[in-house]
A and B are shown apart, each in its own frame.
Chain A
Amino acid sequence: MNEYFKLVNFEVRRFSKLFLTLIVAVTVVQIIGAFMTSFNFMERVETTMAQKQLGESEYVLEYGAYNFQNFIFSEYFILSIVFAATILVIYVFFIWYRDWLGKSSFIYRLLMLPTARRNIYFAKLTAILLFVLCLVGVQIALIEVVQQIIHGIIPDQLRVDQSKAYIYSFDVLSFLYPKTPLLFILLYGLGATVVAVVFTAILFERSYHLKGILLGAIYIIISILVIAIPVIIQDITGYLYLNEIIGLTAVTSILTLGVALYLADYLLKRKINV
């Protein structure tokens, strides 16, 4: 257990510089986005009002007020989220491959640590989840900041004030911040399962090389199918309620996660190659 925490600490510190850079980049882009969308809006409002001789309330009636979607659907927000997600997806692979690559082969050291090898796997998995949760946390804070900026630039009359609950029901955000704690656990649990499956597929490749790529791909497809069994049943029979689908998906995910961990443990112990 102790070794596991040490390894988590190690994995987090190892990526921290790049991760901080990522957070700073996302923050800067979204703050710029907040300014840009607000200023653009104000500019449009002022030109239109001048041209058509409208008052503020008439403008709002005619063209609509600024609401938070203006920001959420701007390229600033979308690109920053996509960018952060891409970096993390790449890192899901790189967190393993970096240990094999380069003239220094750190994987030798990791595998020779006097601790169960599955701890290496758990530590990497935990690190990825921590990064995701950290980004999600930063995003919550950023939404606050962005709202303050918008409030500062756009006068009350030109703006619709939306409740937090309403804001978090938008597509992207509702996905990042599920409404209930249970949904949160289910969604992020599913996410963790997917990462675990990818990790195990990587270990297939590291253990069996070319053949391993094929094995890994087959393994990923089977895992996805298993997780999706309830959805597939629903598609064919139309028999299940939404709650049942969610419940069954939780079961198939846990099963898939269990298999991923078991296979990873086996591969790390018996088949891994440096």
Chain B
Amino acid sequence: MIEVKNVYKKYKKKQVLKDMSFTAEKGQITCLIGINGAGKTTIMKSIMALTPFDRGEILIDGKKINKDAYEKITYIPDRLTMLPNYTIAESFEFMADFYKAWNEQRATELLSFFKLNQQDKLSSLSKGNAAKVNLLLGLALDVDYILMDEPFSGIDIFSREQIANVFTSHLIENRGVIITTHEINDIEHLIDKAVLIGDGKVLREMNVEEIREMEGKSVVDVMREVYVG
């Protein structure tokens, strides 16, 4: 379980995170929803210790993040995290070199799933294909938790469908996933839990099936209540 407990962060005089708290279970897909600037990316970076926070605590399976945790949790940001002059094959080599959790077989499988060419240079990829490589590098790690920042934004519809297919496949099974989006429509039926974020805090944390069952509301209905009032 990933536990975010009362996290505060100030950046350039703006309170980016104000008492942010939520949890994300293993084996579930947790979706952080909120408009741009709500603090979604900041909280992901905070979980990964890629940016400092002022107060509060973040635990991964009960422990603060340390170097070994990067074999257990990975983050797929909205940009490539490999040298642009590398080919996909060279990126694989790099990953294999540094991560015990790297699963070459799965990487190859994903390569054909996404119809990517190993010899392609990263800098020459289309936006959609770059997003797929990015996703691939994260998914091919045998980690328990995967954090994805806006995997659907700014890419074509077919790439989007392919990426959505990942969520229902064995590639995600039994792992804990946190995904951010400002557009819930694509994935409403894919997620277990929605965490509505606004202005640096959690406005509502809910199990989406429960909310449908108990209140007969869709995620969008709840969002309307929370954001529009």
Task: Kindly supply a per-residue 1/0 record for chain A positions 16-30, scoring 1 wherever the CB is within 8 Å of any chain B CB and 0 otherwise.
Answer: 000000000000000
**B117 beta carbon closer than 8 Å to chain A:** no
Q: How many residues in B have their beta carbons less than 8 Å from beta carbons of A?
A: 29
In the complex, what distance in Å separates the CA atom of A104 from the CA atom of B186?
Answer: 26
**Residue from B12, B68, B82, B98 having most chain A Cβ neighbours under 10 A:** B98
- A111 contacts across to B, CB distance below 8 A: 48-50
Which of B12, B49, B81, B97 sits near A106, CB closer than 8 Å?
A: B81
**B226 beta carbon closer than 8 Å to chain A:** no
Task: Kindly supply a per-residue 1/0 record for chain B positions 88-101, scoring 1 wherever the CB is within 8 Å of any chain A CB and 0 otherwise.
Answer: 00000010011111
Within 143-172 of B, Cβ neighbours of A (below 8 Å) are at none
- B71 contacts across to A, CB distance below 8 A: 114
In the complex, what distance in Å separates the CA atom of A106 from the CA atom of B48?
Answer: 15
**A159 beta carbon closer than 8 Å to chain B:** no
Q: How many residues in A have their beta carbons less than 8 Å from beta carbons of B?
A: 26
Within 156-175 of A, Cβ neighbours of B (below 8 Å) are at none
Of the A-B pairs whose beta carbons lie under 8 Å apart in the complex, a sample of 29, sorted by A's number, is: A6-B97, A10-B94, A102-B84, A104-B80, A104-B83, A104-B122, A104-B123, A105-B77, A105-B79, A105-B81, A108-B50, A108-B77, A111-B49, A111-B50, A112-B74, A112-B75, A112-B81, A113-B67, A113-B70, A113-B98, A113-B99, A114-B69, A114-B101, A115-B98, A269-B49, A272-B51, A273-B51, A274-B50, A274-B51
- B210 CB, nearest partner CB in chain A, Å: 34
In the complex, what distance in Å separates the CA atom of A104 from the CA atom of B86?
Answer: 11
Chain B residue, CB-CB nearest to A105: B79
- B79 contacts across to A, CB distance below 8 A: 103-105, 108
**B26 beta carbon closer than 8 Å to chain A:** no
Check if B50 sits within 8 Å of A103, measured CB to CB: no
- A6 contacts across to B, CB distance below 8 A: 97-98
In the complex, what distance in Å separates the CA atom of A115 from the CA atom of B68?
Answer: 7
- B229 CB, nearest partner CB in chain A, Å: 34
Check if A103 sits within 8 Å of B80, measured CB to CB: yes
- A117 contacts across to B, CB distance below 8 A: 67
Task: Kindly supply a per-residue 1/0 record for chain A positions 94-112, scoring 1 wherever the CB is within 8 Å of any chain B CB and 0 otherwise.
Answer: 0000000011111011011
**B18 beta carbon closer than 8 Å to chain A:** no
In the complex, what distance in Å separates the CA atom of A115 from the CA atom of B81?
Answer: 17
Within 28-65 of B, Cβ neighbours of A (below 8 Å) are at 45, 48-52
**A3 beta carbon closer than 8 Å to chain B:** yes
Interface residues of B (CB under 8 A from A): 12, 45, 48-52, 67-71, 74-75, 77, 79-84, 94, 97-101, 122-123
Check if A273 sits within 8 Å of B122, measured CB to CB: no
Check if B52 sits within 8 Å of A103, measured CB to CB: no
Chain A residue, CB-CB nearest to B70: A114
In the complex, what distance in Å separates the CA atom of A207 from the CA atom of B49?
Answer: 12
Task: Kindly supply a per-residue 1/0 record for chain A positions 120-158, scoring 1 wherever the CB is within 8 Å of any chain B CB and 0 otherwise.
Answer: 000000000000000000000000000000000000000
**Residue from B49, B75, B84, B123 having most chain A Cβ neighbours under 10 A:** B49
In the complex, what distance in Å separates the CA atom of A10 from the CA atom of B86?
Answer: 12
- B179 CB, nearest partner CB in chain A, Å: 17
Known: A104-B84, A105-B77, A117-B67. 13 other contacts (CB 8 A): A10-B94, A14-B83, A102-B84, A108-B77, A111-B48, A111-B49, A112-B81, A113-B98, A114-B68, A114-B69, A115-B67, A115-B98, A273-B52
- B94 contacts across to A, CB distance below 8 A: 10
In the complex, what distance in Å separates the CA atom of A102 from the CA atom of B80?
Answer: 10
The 6 closest A-B pairs by CB, nearest first: A104-B80, A109-B81, A114-B70, A108-B81, A274-B50, A104-B84
A109-B52 contact in complex given A114-B99, A114-B100, A115-B67, C-beta closer than 8 Å: no
- B83 CB, nearest partner CB in chain A, Å: 6
Chain B residue, CB-CB nearest to A110: B81
Chain A residue, CB-CB nearest to B123: A104
Within 249-274 of A, Cβ neighbours of B (below 8 Å) are at 269-274
Check if A270 sits within 8 Å of B52, measured CB to CB: yes
- A10 CB, nearest partner CB in chain B, Å: 8
- A268 CB, nearest partner CB in chain B, Å: 10
**Residue from A109, A112, A115, A209 having most chain B Cβ neighbours under 10 A:** A112
In the complex, what distance in Å separates the CA atom of A3 from the CA atom of B98?
Answer: 7
